[in-house]
Amino acid sequence: MSTENLTHLAVIMDGNGRWAKKRNLPRTAGHLAGLKALKKIILASKKSDVKFLSLYAFSTENWRRPDSEVNYLMNLIASKLPSEIKFYKSEQIRILVRGDRTNLPKAAINAINKVEDETKEFSAITVILCINYGGHDEIVRSVNSILKENPTTEITEDLIKSHMQFNDIVPCVDMIVRSAGEKRLSNFLLWESAYAELGFYDTLFPDWDEQMINIVIKDYQSRIRKFGGIS
């Protein structure tokens, strides 16, 4: 049994498109249904005392999707983030957005800045939305910021870690889980996944609810983490 609590859980929210296809609905309906599931799993995680919840919402590779789908997702970010501020406040939820926001549409950047600012005092649970996030991109950006500070420094693991976004606020991920059956990381949290526990579940993301979070937590508690040592 894992003696540690699941402090930082990360979810690769996959399967929105398949959920919609099964119902003969447009992919956009799957994203809307995913949004409803997302709210449920935030509340369930908070209830189970998960302190940090990272959610993979848009990868650096998702720009390859049709313009109409990318625009739909960007509009969802720009409209839903601010419209949910009341909910975040009532539940004491802090929102952070991880990834390269500089290339997002202006309306999405404004929404992100607003929601981060208006929830910065809260700590019941910190939700890290990963938007235009890529593990490769994150490592490259970290190294570039080290070199900007000191072009002749020797790169070390500690330096790379300490120059990553929110490194001072968000602890290393304990478990990365993925919905919808695919067994890959798709460029998510590559640096941090070195010793994360992994979990893959067939349930499509829009069907995730409190029960799924309870299953994930139980799975985590059954793992023995050794970090290269002996148990």
Q: Which of 62, 132, 174, 187 is catalytic?
A: 62
13 near ligand IPE, judged by CB under 6 A: yes
Rounded CA separation 37/205 (Å):
7
Q: By CB under 6 A, which span of 52-60, 110-118, 156-164, 210-218 interacts with ligand IPE?
A: 52-60
Burial class (CB in 10 A: 0-12, 13-18, 19+), 222: exposed
How does DSSP assign 44-95, residue by residue?
HHHHTT--EEEEEEEETTGGGS-HHHHHHHHHHHHHHHHHTHHHHHHTTEEE
Tell me, by CB under 6 A, how many residues bind ligand IPE: 17
177 near ligand IPE, judged by CB under 6 A: no
Q: Which of 14, 16, 132, 187 is catalytic?
A: 14
Q: CA 82 → CA 25, 100, 112, 192, distances in Å?
A: 27, 19, 8, 29
- Ranked by CB distance to ligand IPE, the top (closest) residue is 17
75 is annotated as an active-site residue: no
Residues 17-46 that bind ligand IPE (CB under 6 A): 17-18
15 near ligand IPE, judged by CB under 6 A: yes
14 is annotated as an active-site residue: yes
- Cβ contacts of 150 within 8 Å, gap of 6 or more: none
58 near ligand IPE, judged by CB under 6 A: yes
CB of 47 to ligand IPE, least distance (A): 24
Rounded CA separation 37/209 (Å):
6
39 or 184: CB nearest ligand IPE: 184
91 or 100: CB nearest ligand IPE: 100
62 near Mg ion, judged by CB under 5 A: no
* E strand or H helix that includes residue 126: strand 125-133
Q: Name the residue with tokens 């829009």.
A: 206
**Residues marked as catalytic:** 14, 62
Contact residues for Mg ion (CB under 5 A)?
14
Contact residues for ligand IPE (CB under 6 A)?
12-18, 56-59, 62, 73, 180, 182, 184, 186
